[in-house]
Amino acid sequence: MSFRPAERLNTLPAYLFVEIDRKKRAARAAGKDIIDFGLGDPDSPTYTYIRNRLHHAVDDPANDRYPPGGGAPELRRALAAFFRQRYSVELDPEREILVLIGSKEGLGHLPLAVVNPGQTVLVPDPAYPVYRSAAIFAGGVPRTMRLTEAGGWLPDLDAIPEDTARSATLMYLNYPNNPTAAVAPLGFYEKAVELARRYDLLIAQDAAYNEVYFEHPPPSILQVPGARDVAVEFHSLSKTFNMTGWRLGFAAGNADAIAALARVKDNLDSGPYTAIQEAGIEAYAGIDRPEVTRIRATYHQRAEVLCHGLQELGFRVRPPAATFYVWARVPKAYDSMRLATKLLDEVSVVCVPGVGFGPAGEGYVRFALTLDIDRIRQALARLREVKW
């Protein structure tokens, strides 16, 4: 028998960075100094106050057992306390909060819990690729909501055709947004909730960057009255606390959706290591500690320097209010893949072509601010050498 992967893998979105990845590896192997703005992975270590709690928790043999279903009760209470403090939203820790092995896990499993084969899943374009893949894995049919710069990178909810809205069971949203860095005002969430009520669909709002903000904390969709009837929000410790490798996140909101997702998870995984969940309690207890405040200021400063430098070079770019991304319009004569390839070939600077996030990302490139300020300045100096 010759092994062949399942056909559904062929229906996933194509991975467009093969060529850039290959060139990056080749350049590295040739000893070139690559300045890599490609990775949405914090460059700073997890804060010591969190790591110390893990050290302690690892020594407790009680944590060696399977973790409690749905997540450690103390962590769920801590997350409810965070929601109360940050958003003035009161959540039932047992019914309205579910601990995840990173938010990607929950975003990815959700359609298995709430979408029937053939049903429509509304997915933004450009977007984090997980939403579309997850819809496909569950046999759902992704339908695109096109985001545009003119529309503030928010979907035009009024433009969704009536029959599409009617056939949809799930809508993914992501604010603050990867890759565009757009932030949604509460008024947008109000409209989305109203639409979800009218057409009886569930909203999955990916809030992975809600705590990576520069002035005011962006809103939670759960602040909209009645939102918990139609919405679940996904939060992550990865970006806020530099914990991408730890795999810890949570879902909050609609109790039926939470219960359905928990059933999928009961059948596939048993949740994150309890010691890591214990460290998660410590993380949120320190959400406004100086370490966290400082990293927000650091990303803000990096964003200002990079945006200013790119503007001087003639890129059209708006300084972000949240996330650690800069989303820049590419100079006219180029498409995003050609521009990214040119920067890599000529000056060993890596950015991500917008088209990799969907066709509507064409014309833009994404820079991740996960490099220190000196490297950013060095990259700008190199970009000034490029012949356009």
Q: Which is nearer to ligand PLP, 42 or 70 (CB)?
A: 42
What are phi and psi for residue 328, nearest 5 degrees?
-115, 135
Spatial contact of 127 and 154, defined as CB atoms under 8 Å apart: no
Q: What are phi and psi of 251, to 5 degrees?
A: -110, 145
The pair of three-digit structure tokens given for residue 319, joined into one six-digit string? 């300084």
Closest CB to ligand PLP among 104 and 300? 104
Least Å distance, CB 126 to ligand PLP, is 11
In angstroms, give the least distance from the CB of 238 to ligand PLP: 3
- Given the complex with ligand PLP, which of 277 and 348 has the nearer CB atom? 277
Which CB, 24 or 235, lies closer to ligand PLP? 235
Q: Which residue, 208 or 369, is less far from ligand PLP as judged by CB?
A: 208
In angstroms, the CA 145 to CA 387 distance is 36
User: CA-to-CA distance for 171 and 188, rounded, in angstroms?
Assistant: 14
Quote the CA–CA distance of 347 and 385 in Å, as a whole number: 8
In angstroms, give the least distance from the CB of 248 to ligand PLP: 7
State in angstroms the smallest separation of the CB of 98 from ligand PLP: 13
As given in the structure block, the two tokens for residue 193 are 């909730």
Give the total residue count for the chain. Answer: 388
Count H helices and E strands in the chain, helices first: 12, 13
Considering the complex, what minimum distance in angstroms separates the CB of residue 102 from ligand PLP?
3
CB-closest chain residue to ligand PLP:
102
CB closer to ligand PLP, 222 vs 380: 222
Tokens found for residue 133: 């893949």
Question: H/E/C letters for each residue in 85-119?
Answer: HHHCCCCCCCCCEEEECCHHHHHHHHHHHHCCCCC
Give strand pairing partners of 367.
Answer: 326
The binding site for ligand PLP (CB under 6 A) comprises 40, 102-104, 128, 174, 178, 206, 208, 236, 238-239, 244, 249
Q: Name the minimum Å distance from CB 368 to ligand PLP.
A: 10
Residue 211 and residue 240 in contact, taking contact as beta carbons nearer than 8 Å: yes
Of 99 and 376, CB closest to ligand PLP: 99
Supply the minimum distance, in Å, between the C-beta of residue 319 and ligand PLP: 19
